[in-house]
Amino acid sequence: MKDQDYELLSQYLDGELPTKETAQLEQRLGADSELRITLASMRSIDSAVKASYRNSGQAPAHIGAMLQGEESNVVAFPRRSRAAASWQYAVAATLVAAAGLLLVPDMNRSSEALLSAALDEASSRASGWETLEDGRKLRPVLSFPDKSGTWCREYLVTDAEGAQRGVACRDDKGWNTVVIAATEITPNDDQLYRPAGADDDSSVAKYISENAADIAASAQQESELIASDWQ
């Protein structure tokens, strides 16, 4: 096969072949099985190359912390799983609206009870919402142990007035919110990527970075925790 054919196939594979040349190549591919086979092999090579890099993309937590940082209280977490890297990013990307920091608000008892019951049972999720009995929507975001070994969960909750991001920790009576702040959910709230502009010293992110003793629980760990009543 000519070098030029390798170049055409290669550009085609990368979506970099101009329209006219693409049409010509596709015609040739229909008629030339050697060309087709080479293209298929190139595709397989690409997949294999991508797969071989799959474990190379987890930046150590302390390097991520450098970017988040000023006087870092961030503990150098051991890098255990992909969840760790995206957890760091979720914390960094927390949005807090300019107004409206509430610390341990005077929450209505029954609304706190509904939240507590839901946090006890619902798995963390990257998108979508649980609906509480009072119509509010809840999204548990992640679970982590604090320095005293207590399990805490970051969550989002929305009601008619807007959205809040908070952390609740569990004692033997249930989940108690320890910090909460107004936040913004973008229209495409199902995207993991949040718009830039978050304050790094948001109260919720700060709470987590100061109190978390370890990386966020994996989905598997969390299921086990939920099943065992968070023991």
Partner 1 sequence: MSALNDLQRKALMAELDGLRRFCYSLTGSAADTDDLLQTTVEKLLRKGMPEDAHAGKWAYRVCRNVWIDELRSRDVRKRYPESVTDQVDVAPSAEYVAEGERELATVAQALKQLPNEQRLALTLVTVEGKTYAEAAEILEVPVGTIMSRIARARKNLLEIYTPPQMVDQE
Binding site for partner 1 (CB under 8 A): 3, 6-7, 9-11, 14, 16, 30, 33, 36-42, 44-53, 56-60, 63-64, 66-70, 85, 88-89, 92-93, 193, 196-200
Q: Which is nearer to partner 1, 22 or 58 (CB)?
A: 58
Q: How far is the CB of 43 from partner 1 (least distance, A)?
A: 8
Q: How far is the CB of 167 from partner 1 (least distance, A)?
A: 21
Angle at CA 158, nearest 5°, toward 130 and 147? Answer: 80
The number of C-alpha atoms within 13 Å of 24 and in the hemisphere containing its C-beta is: 8
Q: Which is nearer to partner 1, 69 or 162 (CB)?
A: 69
Q: Which is nearer to partner 1, 90 or 122 (CB)?
A: 90
Radius of gyration of the chain (CA): 24
Beta-strand relationship, 130-131 and 137-145: antiparallel
Contact predicate 178/207, CB 8 Å = yes
Helical residues (DSSP H) of 69-218, grouped into ranges: 82-92, 109-121, 203-211
* Alpha carbons 97 and 95: distance in angstroms, whole number: 7
Q: How far is the CB of 211 from partner 1 (least distance, A)?
A: 21
Q: How far is the CB of 175 from partner 1 (least distance, A)?
A: 29
Q: Which is nearer to partner 1, 83 or 115 (CB)?
A: 83
Q: How far is the CB of 231 from partner 1 (least distance, A)?
A: 34
Contact predicate 92/190, CB 8 Å = no
Q: Which is nearer to partner 1, 60 or 174 (CB)?
A: 60
* Alpha carbons 96 and 199: distance in angstroms, whole number: 7
